[in-house]
Amino acid sequence: MKNTKVSSVGERALISILSEIFKAPDGREKGQEGILIGAGSDDCAVLDLKGEDCLVVTTDMLHRTTDFPEEMTPWQMGWMSAAVNLSDIAAMGAEPIGLVMAIGMPADTEIAFVEALAKGMQACAEFCGTTIIGGDLDTHAELTITGTALGRVKKDQLLLRRGARPGDLVCVTGYTGSAGAALEALQSRKPVSETVLNALFEPVPRTKEARMLAESGAVTSMMDTSDGLAMSLYDFSRQSRVGFRVRENALPILVEVRKFASNPDKLREFALYTGGDFELLITIDPQKIKKVQNICNLVVIGECTKYEAGIVLESPECNLITIEQRGYQQLKAEAVDRSS
């Protein structure tokens, strides 16, 4: 690996390399008891709090050039910095209990900008029933915000990426592809509604929905779709050892996004391969589907199959198409290893 650049291996491969460094040779995490889920395998790390609860924790670094389109207001940048972390807390079925935010900014940043940023963070935290409890300020050439969120959940309600079984129903909250369409609209300077733009600029963590889903006892696994639906299905598949059959007709897509996509391929691109939607992807025991149907805006998009059946899309004409393993990835790999 000597002289190999990180860009040539991609984010997920690099996570695997680092996770090994953070583990003992026997595969358990080094250093201490009490780690239920360590680095690299779920939306959050999970610590045993000894009693009936566990603590979940996640961190996410955002920065101006890659994460904040120039049309975003500072308030929205603050909102998003909190939201991406609170979405990971939701994905574990946990209740958020606090956020710390490290902010690096150029020395000539205006105070009013920082205040708006902080208000956006706090608004998102409060929307999710929590608050900003600490942070760090730093001068930095490029605006860089690293949020870390903490959550708490009863051990028997913790929802992981593993747990899905063949035969389970696959569901998503909200709509898919809206944030991707918004990004394309910005890049191609085409007009879209505020609803579509806000899917990108002000993603809503599904905190309440996640708690109700966790309490229902019907959910077998859960994660968020921040890197796109396809990427999430692959992450799920790897952890739960299941395949997926997704019905294209069932994908919940805003009418405006359907119209905005100039052709079916483009629409599929938005719905499967673009990130930023921050919805929940859930697998549900089919016997218990009634328990969750009234909880939130939840759509059944397909079902879990055997791992060997792969991850496929059933087109309206009932053709089976392999869903590709691609989407939003930091440190994009030149070639994605589809067998991993």
CB 245 within 8 Å of CB 184: no
- Tell me if 108 is assigned to a ligand binding site: no
Q: What three-state secondary structure class fits 194? A: helix
The beta-strand segments (E) located in 179-255 are 219-224, 242-247
Which is closer to a copy of itself, CB of 152 or CB of 247? 152
Name the 3-class secondary structure at 166.
coil
Helix/strand/coil for 107: coil
- The minimum distance between CB 82 and a copy of itself, in angstroms, equals 11
Question: Within a 10 A sphere around the Cβ of 230, how many other Cβ atoms?
Answer: 26
129 vs 217, beta carbon nearer a copy of itself: 129
CB of 153 to a copy of itself, least distance (A): 13
Nearer to a copy of itself, 137 or 321 (CB): 137
Q: How far is the CB of 167 from a copy of itself (least distance, A)?
A: 31
CA distances in angstroms from 67 to 76, 235, 271, listed in the order given: 11, 22, 20
Q: Give the interface segment with a copy of itself, choosing from 35-43, 202-210, 247-255, 270-278 (CB under 8 A).
A: 35-43
Contact between 258 and a copy of itself (CB under 8 A)? no
Q: Give the C-alpha separation, 163 to 155, whole Å.
A: 14
Helical axes 229-240 vs 264-273, angle rounded to 10°: 50
Nearer to a copy of itself, 38 or 167 (CB): 38
Q: Does 157 bind a copy of itself (CB under 8 A)?
A: no
Q: Was 135 annotated as part of a binding site?
A: yes
Report phi then psi at 64, rounded to 5: -55, -55
- The smaller minimum CB distance to a copy of itself, of residues 133 and 321, is found at 133
The footprint of a copy of itself on residues 298-337 (CB under 8 A) is 330-331
- Interface with a copy of itself by CB under 8 A: which range of 1-9, 176-184, 224-232, 244-252? 1-9
Q: Which of 25, 26, 27, 31 binds a copy of itself (CB under 8 A)?
A: 31
* Cβ-based nearer residue to a copy of itself, 64 or 268: 64
Choice between 165 and 332, CB closer to a copy of itself = 332
By CB under 8 A, the residues from 89 to 148 that bind a copy of itself are 97-98, 100-105, 107-112, 114-115, 118-119, 122, 125-126, 129-142, 144, 146, 148
Backbone angles phi, psi at 36, to 5 degrees: -85, -40
**Cα–chain center distance at 224:** 4
Q: Is 315 annotated as a binding residue?
A: no
Nearer to a copy of itself, 14 or 299 (CB): 14
| 265 labeled part of a ligand binding site | no
Q: Quickly count: other Cβ atoms within 10 Å of residue 190's Cβ.
A: 10
- List Cβ neighbours of 29 (8 Å cut-off, separation of 6 or more): 22, 23, 35, 38, 39
> Minimum distance between the CB of residue 129 and a copy of itself, rounded to whole angstroms?
6
Asked whether position 21 contacts a copy of itself by CB under 8 A, the answer is yes
Say if residue 109 carries a ligand binding annotation.
no
Tell how far CA 125 is from the center of its chain: 17
Find out whether 54 and 45 touch, Cβ atoms under 8 Å. no
Q: What is the DSSP letter of 44?
A: S
User: Which x/- pattern, by CB under 8 A, does the window 36-75 give for a copy of itself?
Assistant: --xxx---xx-x-x-x---x-xxxxxxx-xx---------
User: Is 277 annotated as a binding-site member?
Assistant: no
Instruction: Please check whether residue 225 is in contact with residue 270, taking contact to mean a CB–CB distance below 8 angstroms.
Output: no
131: annotated binding-site residue?
A: no
Q: Whole-angstrom Cα distance, residue 41 to residue 58?
A: 12
Annotated binding residues, written as ranges, equal 43, 58-60, 67, 88, 135-136, 161, 224, 226-227, 328
Annotated binding residues for ATP, written as ranges, equal 135-136, 161, 226
